[in-house]
Chain A
Amino acid sequence: GQNIDQPTEMTATEGAIVQINCTYQTSGFNGLFWYQQHAGEAPTFLSYNVLDGLEEKGRFSSFLSRSKGYSYLLLKELQMKDSASYLCAVRDWGNTPLVFGKGTRLSVIA
C-alpha cells in the first residue's frame, strides 16, 4: 500500500524559517513533489526530488532521504502570502500518477 504522512497544521512567524516534514511508505519510488495550494485555488508545483539531498529554489528548499522515506520543505524569510496548504506527493514507480498526502496548512502570523 501507499501512505504519505505530513502534519495537519503549522503556524510560524513572518520573517522566520519553517520546516514541513513528509514521510512516505510506498512499494517503489520514482520522485517526490511539493505543491503549494492557496485556499480554493489549484495546487502549484514547487519542487521535485528524485535523488537524495537538498534542492534549493529561492526561499524554498526541499530535502529527500530515500533510505528513510523522508522529505522536508524548508521555507525561509516567511511572508504572509506563504499562508497556504503544502502538499507532499510521491510517484511510487514508473510513470504512475502522483499520490498525495493530505497537506499541511501553514499559517504565517505577524
Chain B
Amino acid sequence: EVQLVESGGGLVQPGGSLRLSCAASGFSFGIYWMSWIRQAPGKGLACVANINPDGSQTYYVDSVKGRFTISRDNAKNSLYLQMNSLRVEDTAEYYCVRAEGRTVVDPWGQGTLVTVSS
C-alpha cells in the first residue's frame, strides 16, 4: 500500500524556520518526481516545490524562492522541505505528493499543519 506520511509542522514565529519531512512507503520512491502542495486554512491548493527523482532538479513557486528548499534522501525514502524566513502567509496544511506525467498521483498524505504567528 502506498503511503505518504508528513511530519514536522507546528507553530512558529514570523521569521522562524521549520523542516518538514515526508516518509514514503509502498512504492519505488527513487523513480518519482515529488512535490509539496499547500492549502491555507479554508482556501485552495497551491504547488510549492517540485524535485526530480535524483534530486538534481528543483522548482519553486516565486513566493517561496530563496526561503524554502526541497530535498530528498532516496536511501531513506524521504522527502523534505526546509522552510526559512517564514511569513504569516505561509500558514497552511502542507501535503507531500508523488508526481508523474506532469500531474499529481494519488494517494495524498494527511498533511502537516504549519502555523506562522506571533
Question: Is chain B found bound to chain A in the same assembly?
Answer: no
